[in-house]
Structure 1
Amino acid sequence: MDINAALRIDMDVLEHAGRADHIRSVAFRTGLYLAHKGKEPVGDCCVDFNYFLGQAFVSLLIVAQPFQKMGFGFALLEHVERLLDGDLWTSTNLTNGPMISLLLGRGYRACGQLDGLDDRDPELFFKKSKRGAKVNFQQV
């Protein structure tokens, strides 16, 4: 896994390395996925199981500026969704219209809001339940 590629994409988009430790941490737990155009890494997705009460949580989805709105974010989410048996959670700021549109377009439903993380920009939470997910029952 080319962790440095994910770090470069994040740095290029944000213009700072504030999330580098998080990206490295998720990568070492095998939750980092990269999208490529040819051989060039163009986006990444961090899926963390330690971040949100043991639930699969997309803590970061980012696509390099020149490749945004070309389907790479959609493809990254689609890939991660296929890997999981259960629900997938994520969140984004209210002002992040492109991410909200992407999530709604992939069938996520809004399920909560948290105020106070970012000044005057609430964090919206989304969940996608896998249809036909296997349910196991145990008699006690």
Structure 2
Amino acid sequence: MNIRLAHDQDFYALLELDTLALTNLHRSEKIKQWVEEKTCYLIECNKIISAYGVLNYSFFEFGYIPMLMVRENFRHKHHGISLITYFQEICATPKLFTSTNQSNIPMQQLLIKAGFNNSGYIENLDEDDPELIFIYQKC
């Protein structure tokens, strides 16, 4: 398992792994933007991109993970937590935030396992599915 910055040549592989990108033009444009901004990291396992995530500083200038996606057949194999742990290590601020929908129980469980704590929620982003905010604070 190798974690590295995504490069332009990884773009189509990232689209293929993302469950929304092939049907959602906005998502594919965001992936392209994240790769260009050098905020997109991926896990390569046996020459297959198994997961990707984004770490930027767009949340009140604190570290923020706006995206984490694991290829379906690599889920529950520690790829998600490996990427989150990597982000915790390289984050340049003492606080690292992320969010997920209230309905996304697996992501909430992953964040709690990685040492994140609930930090509130935002209503009205997705109808009847509040966005839960999580924080990880470095010691």
Q: TM-score range by the shorter chain?
A: 0.7 to 0.9
Which has the greater radius of gyration? 1
Moved over 6 A (4+): none
Mapping 1:85-96, distance limit 5 Å: 85-86=92-93, 87-96=95-104
**CA shift at 1:62, angstroms?**
0.4
Q: Which amino acid aligns with 2:86?
A: H
Q: Deviation string for 1:51-109 (max 9, x for gaps)?
A: 32222110000001111111100001111111123211100000001100000001001
Tell me the CA shift for residue 126 of structure 1: 0.4
**Unaligned stretches of 5+ residues in structure 1:** 132-140
CA drift of 1:5 comes to 1.9
TM-score by length of structure 2 reads: 0.86
**In structure 1, C-alpha distance between the alignment counterparts of 2:16 and 2:138, rounded to whole Å:** 32
Which residue is 1:103 aligned to? 111
Let me know the Cα RMSD of the aligned residues. Answer: 1.3
Question: Which runs of no fewer than 5 residues in structure 2 stay unpaired?
Answer: 1-6
The normalised TM-score by structure 1 is: 0.85
Which whole-Å CA distance do the structure 1 matches of 2:60 and 2:12 have between them?
28
Structure 2 residue aligned with 1:35: 43
Displacement of 1:8: 1.6
Alignment of 1:1-140 (within 5 A): 1=7, 2-10=10-18, 13-14=19-20, 16-17=23-24, 18-49=26-57, 51-86=58-93, 87-131=95-139
Report sequence identity in percent.
28
